[in-house]
Structure 1
Amino acid sequence: MYHNWLDRWDERRAWRGEEAKKVTDFILDAGRAFPGEKRIETIDEFCVLADQALCDSSWYDEPSGSGLSFERHDGWLRFPSDISTDVEENNVVWAKITESGSHDQALVIFHHWNANARNRQIAKFFSQRGITVVEIAMPYHFERSRPGSLYADYMLSSNLGRTIQSVRQAVWDGRKLIRWLKSEGYGEISVLGMSLGSWVAGIIAAHDRAVSKASLFLTAGSLADMVWTGRATRSIKNSLEPEIGLADLRRAWAPLNMENYADRLARSDLDLHVVLAKRDKVVLPELSERFTQRLKDAGARPNISELNCGHYSLGMPPYILLAGLSLKRFLSCTDKARRT
């Protein structure tokens, strides 16, 4: 009976903001995803470019000459993004820093899609335990929101090219922030990603050896499958379905699929922590299971915590407390303890 009530609560929570999500035009927009490639007119041509990006090991590397022009004031960090978009606000990255008084460890948090508040309680909890917490704003969120938008429609949408550009921008922004943290003397760098933020955090961990721990909440591998099957992305699927099938979407968004980076995530100097919700209707459990199995097949040994709740009810007691304690144990483990 309790879990039936929990499922209904998750469904009611899912309806919040649903009216703002409209069916929009399907657009390739290859020039945004792959600069210089503006004359792409077919999905097959787009997928060829996506295949090339996936095979390019440097595609998620920051551009050469990217500087560290950071402004820090009163607990906030501000710096320019290395991808320039047509939304001026989105071209400046903001991050909230909660200091711990120690430079031993820093945790960078990547929030969920359409987040409307930062994780103040998480930041306070870990900063009091010696971990400096940095909460970065992903593209088109918080201070970077597009004027007049009711949700972060430019971060994830039926515009294939803009979605790739946005995720790549989030990865570049995160890597630039991590480089700054290392220059400030922070030792161990960990990343925490929640839902859509877990894709960003995971891709960063796969490509940046400065990251030694990655915690992925409510995650899976294929972003295409998540959008096609998830409760929160029905409007995007309805926009895509008349024009493109799931197989083509998987190929078009192959650079965003963490399953394709399983070997990188399985590197010996990276520890993985995954928190999943067994009753999730946004990131379906079968997608998460496929991803974690792919990690194991690649040789990774992820620390997996499965809770009997939904996507949104993970934020309710007792589930958020269980997830928090699992994360605390993971971040507190020493190298010696993890290797034995």
Structure 2
Amino acid sequence: MYHSWLDRWDERRARRGEEAKKTTAFVLDADRAFPGAKTIEALDEFCVLSDQAVSDPSFFEPPSGRVQGFERQDGWIKFPSDVVTDVDENNVVWAKITESGSFDHALVIFHHWNASARSGQIAKFFSQRGITVIEIAMPYHFERSRPGSLYADYILSANLGRTIQSMRQAVWDGRKLVCWLKSEGYREVSVLGMSLGSWVAGLIAAHDPVVSKASLFLTAGSLADMVWTGRATRSIRDSLEPKIELTDLRRAWGPLNMENYAHRLARPDLDLHVVLAKRDKVVLPELSESFMQRLKDAGARPNILELNCGHYSLAMPPYILLAGLSLKRFL
């Protein structure tokens, strides 16, 4: 009976803001995803470029000189993004820093899609335990929101190219921040990602050897499958389905599929921590299980905590307390 109530609570929570999510046009927009690419009008041509990006280790490598332009004041860090978009606000990265008084360890937090607030309690908890916490704003969120938008519709949408551009921008921004933290003297840098933020944190951990620990909450490998099957992304699937098959979407968004980088996440100097929800309707458990198996097959040994709750009810006690204690032990 309790879990039936929990499922209903998750469904009510999922409906918040749903009226703002409308179907949108299906667009390739290849030049956003792959700058300098010739005009692409066919999906297969787009997928060829995606295949090339998956095998190109430099695709998620920020430009050189990436620690320039940082400003720090009154608990905030601000710096220019190396991806320039047509939304001026999105081109400046903001991050809140909660100091620990120690340079032993820094933790960068990547929030979930459409987050309305940063994780102040987490920041306070870990900063009191010697870990400096930096809560970065992902593209089109918080201070980077697109004027007039009701939610962060540009980071994840039926525009295939813009979605890749936005996620690549999030990875570049995160890696630029990690590099700056090392230049400031932090001995160890870890990343924590929640839901969509777990894809960003995971891609950073896969491509940046500076990151020593990665904690991924409510995660899976294939972003295409998550969007296609997830409760929170129905409007995006409704926009995609008349124009593209799931098999083609998987290929088009191949650069964003963490299963394609399982061998990188299995590197011996990276520790992995994963928190999953058995009743998740946003990131389906079978998608998470597939990703965990891919990691294990690649040689990774992730520390996995599975809780009998839903995507949103993970934030409720006792689940959030169990997740927090597990994260504390891991860090």
Aligned 8 A contact 2:67 2:179 in 1: no
Please list every run of 5 or more consecutive structure 2 residues that lacks an aligned counterpart in the other structure: none
| Correspondence 1:329 to 2:329 | yes
What are the within-5 Å matches in structure 2 for residues 234-273 of structure 1? 234-273=234-273
Aligned 8 A contact 1:24 1:239 in 2: yes
Deviation at residue 58 of structure 1 after TM alignment: 1.0
Cα deviations by residue, 1:26-53 (Å, 9 ceiling, x for unpaired): 0000000000125100100000000111
Give the 4+ runs in structure 1 shifted more than 4 A: none
Q: Residue in 1 aligned with 2:63?
A: 63
| Correspondence 1:35 to 2:27 | no
Deviation at residue 199 of structure 1 after TM alignment: 0.2
Distance in 2 of aligned mates of 1:87 and 1:15:
28
Q: Residue in 1 aligned with 2:132?
A: 132
Q: Residue in 1 aligned with 2:8?
A: 8
Q: Residue in 2 aligned with 1:335?
A: none
- Paired residue type of 2:58: S
Distance in 1 of aligned mates of 2:151 and 2:239:
16
Please list every run of 5 or more consecutive structure 1 residues that lacks an aligned counterpart in the other structure: 332-340
**The residue matched to 2:236 in structure 1 has which SS?**
helix
**The residue matched to 2:97 in structure 1 has which SS?**
strand
Q: Residue in 2 aligned with 1:310?
A: 310
Aligned 8 A contact 1:29 1:38 in 2: no
**The residue matched to 2:199 in structure 1 has which SS?**
helix
- Paired residue type of 2:101: G
Distance in 1 of aligned mates of 2:260 and 2:6:
34
Aligned 8 A contact 1:107 1:131 in 2: yes
- Paired residue type of 2:117: A
| Correspondence 1:145 to 2:152 | no
| Correspondence 1:114 to 2:127 | no
**The residue matched to 2:12 in structure 1 has which SS?**
helix
What are the within-5 Å matches in structure 2 for residues 39-58 of structure 1? 39-58=39-58
Distance in 2 of aligned mates of 1:275 and 1:150:
29
TM-score, normalization by structure 1: 0.97
Deviation at residue 67 of structure 1 after TM alignment: 4.2
- Paired residue type of 2:302: P
Distance in 2 of aligned mates of 1:19 and 1:214:
34
Distance in 1 of aligned mates of 2:53 and 2:151:
28
Identify which range, 55-64 or 289-298, moves more after superposition: 55-64
Deviation at residue 64 of structure 1 after TM alignment: 2.6
Q: Residue in 1 aligned with 2:215?
A: 215
Q: Residue in 2 aligned with 1:301?
A: 301
Distance in 2 of aligned mates of 1:154 and 1:47:
20
What are the within-5 Å matches in structure 2 for residues 157-168 of structure 1? 157-168=157-168
Deviation at residue 66 of structure 1 after TM alignment: 3.3
Identity %, equivalent residues: 83
Distance in 1 of aligned mates of 2:112 and 2:262:
22
Aligned length: 331
Q: Residue in 1 aligned with 2:228?
A: 228
- Paired residue type of 1:11: E
Deviation at residue 132 of structure 1 after TM alignment: 0.2
Q: Residue in 2 aligned with 1:190?
A: 190
Distance in 2 of aligned mates of 1:265 and 1:295:
7
Deviation at residue 107 of structure 1 after TM alignment: 0.3
Deviation at residue 69 of structure 1 after TM alignment: 1.3
Distance in 2 of aligned mates of 1:307 and 1:65:
42
Identify which range, 189-198 or 65-74, moves more after superposition: 65-74
| Correspondence 1:179 to 2:179 | yes
Q: Residue in 2 aligned with 1:86?
A: 86
Deviation at residue 228 of structure 1 after TM alignment: 0.2
Deviation at residue 65 of structure 1 after TM alignment: 3.8
Distance in 2 of aligned mates of 1:196 and 1:327:
18
Q: Residue in 1 aligned with 2:104?
A: 104
Deviation at residue 83 of structure 1 after TM alignment: 0.4
Deviation at residue 63 of structure 1 after TM alignment: 1.2
Distance in 2 of aligned mates of 1:102 and 1:297:
37
- Paired residue type of 1:50: S
Q: Residue in 2 aligned with 1:76?
A: 76
- Paired residue type of 2:120: R
**The residue matched to 1:276 in structure 2 has which SS?**
strand
Distance in 1 of aligned mates of 2:103 and 2:68:
19
Distance in 2 of aligned mates of 1:64 and 1:320:
39
Distance in 1 of aligned mates of 2:37 and 2:186:
39
